[in-house]
Amino acid sequence: MNRLFLTLLSFLMLLSFSINSSAFANSPQLSPEVEILCNKIEQQVIEWRRHFHQYPELSNREFETAKKIAAHLEGLGLDVQTGIAHTGVVAILKGGKPGPVIGLRADIDALPVKERVDLPFASKAKGIYNGQEVDVMHACGHDTHIAIMMGVAQVMTAIRDDIPGTIKFVFQPAEEGAPEGEEGGAELMIKEGVMSNPDIEAMFALHIDALREVGRIGYRPGGIMASVDDFRMTVKGRQSHGAYPWMSIDPVVTAAQIINGLQTVVSRQVPITEGAAVVTVGTINGGVRSNIIPEQVVMTGTIRSLVPENRPLIHERIRRVATNIAEGMGATVEIEIPMSTSYPVTYNDPALTGEMVPILESVAGKGNIELVTAETGAEDFAFFANKVPSFYFFLGGRPSDIAPEDAADHHTPDFFIDDSGLKLGVRAMTAVALAYLKANKQEGK
C-alpha cells in the first residue's frame, strides 16, 4: 500500500509539473530593451566580480563587501537597509505597477582557503577564523553571485516603471556558516525580519557551478540540496596503562565500534530509494601518549538527508546505535545533534519550478537547460525555501575548453570561474523575476 501511494504521488507531482510548465511554454524572451541593458552592463558585472574576488571577507566579517554593495544600491535610488544579520544588505525596489513581492538572494561571504590560481585579481587577503589567522578566498563563487545580483538590480531599476510588484534584493552574509559562538546567515536574517515589511511571497537564487559548462543551467524540482546537521559524540570510559587494557573501559575501541555501527544507519535503516542520506565521521580525537588508554574520545561528523521526513529518523537511529554500542562496551556516550550547524533540505517548489523552466529555456536555449540529480551538499537558502515557495538553480561557470574532470571543485585552492558566464546569470535572474511578477500581477496588493 505504501509503495502504491508513493508511485501515485510521484505521478501526480510529475503531472502537476508538466501542466505548470506548459502554462509558461510560450513565454516570450526578455524584451529587446532588457537584452540591451544586460549586454550593456556585462563588463561592469565582470569588474565587480573581480573586485570582490580580490578582496574577499569571511562570514559575518563582510564589512567592506557590504559597503560596496550598499553604495551601488543607494546610487540606484533604492531603499537600502544595512547591518541585517551583522553585515547583510537589503534593497527594496517598488515597481511602477501593483503586484506581488519577491525576494532575490545572493550570498556574499568567502572561505578560509589560500588561492592557488594565477590571476591578476587573485586574492591575497587574510582574515581571522575561529581565533587563527587564515588566507581568504572566494572559493565557492559568492563573488559572482554578488556581481550578478548588483547587475540585476541595475537592470530592474532601469525598467522599474514597467515592473508589476516589488523586489527585495537580499545580500546575505555567512552562508558558509557563522564563526563559533555567533549566529548568522539566512536563519538570522529571517529572525530579524527580512521576509516581512513588505512580506515576500516567493524567493529565487542561483549558484555558480565550477563543474558545469558556461552557458548551461541545472535545475531540479523538490529537494535539490540536502539538509545538514553536524554532530559531536563524547565517548567516556576508564583510563588505564596501555599495557593493562583489561583494567580500562577503552573509549578508543568503543569509538571505533561506533563508527562501524554508524555505517549501518544509512545502508540498513533508512529507505534510501526515497532519497539519499549520508553519515560521515570527520574527526576523532583522544589520548596523549601511545601507552595510555585515555578516559574519553571525541568525534565529530556530518549528517545529510534529501528527504525531510528521514532527517529525524536518522538522528534517532544514530543515537540508538551509538548508545547501545557504548553500553555494550561498558562505556557511555554523550551525543549532540546538531553541534552547531543545522540546515533543512533546499526545496524547490515543484509548481514554481515548472513555471520557471520554460523561462530559463527562453534565455539560455532549450538544449542548455538540464534536470540534475540532487546534491548532498547543503545550502542555507533552505531557510528561505522553508518559508515561501522558492526556486534555486545552478549556473555554469566552467570554461568550454576545460573537461569536467579537469575542473577544480568548489572550496579548493584551484577553484576557477569563467567570467563569460556572468551575463547569462543576469539574464536568467532578471527573466525569472519578471516572469513571476507578470504572471501574478493580478494577485499583488
107 is catalytic: no
DSSP 430: H
Q: Which amino acid is at 284?
A: I
Phi-psi region of 185 (alpha: psi -120 to 50; beta: other; left: phi over 0): left
175 is catalytic: yes
By three-state DSSP, how is residue 384 classified? helix
d(CA 278, CA 335): 18
d(CA 255, CA 326): 8
- Let me know: does 357 contact 250? Beta carbons within 8 Å: no
The active-site residue out of 175, 187, 201, 380 is: 175
- Let me know: does 71 contact 162? Beta carbons within 8 Å: no
The active-site residue out of 57, 62, 107, 109 is: 109
What torsion, rounded to 10 degrees, do the Cα atoms 110, 113, 118, 121 define? 30
d(CA 42, CA 412): 27
DSSP 307: S
210: CB partners within 8 A, 6+ apart? 141, 397, 398, 407, 408, 409, 410, 415, 416, 417
CA 332 to chain CA centroid, Å, is: 36
- Residue found by looking up cell 553541534 in the block: 339
Which three three-digit cell numbers place residue 336?
549532540
Catalytic residue positions, numbered = 109, 175
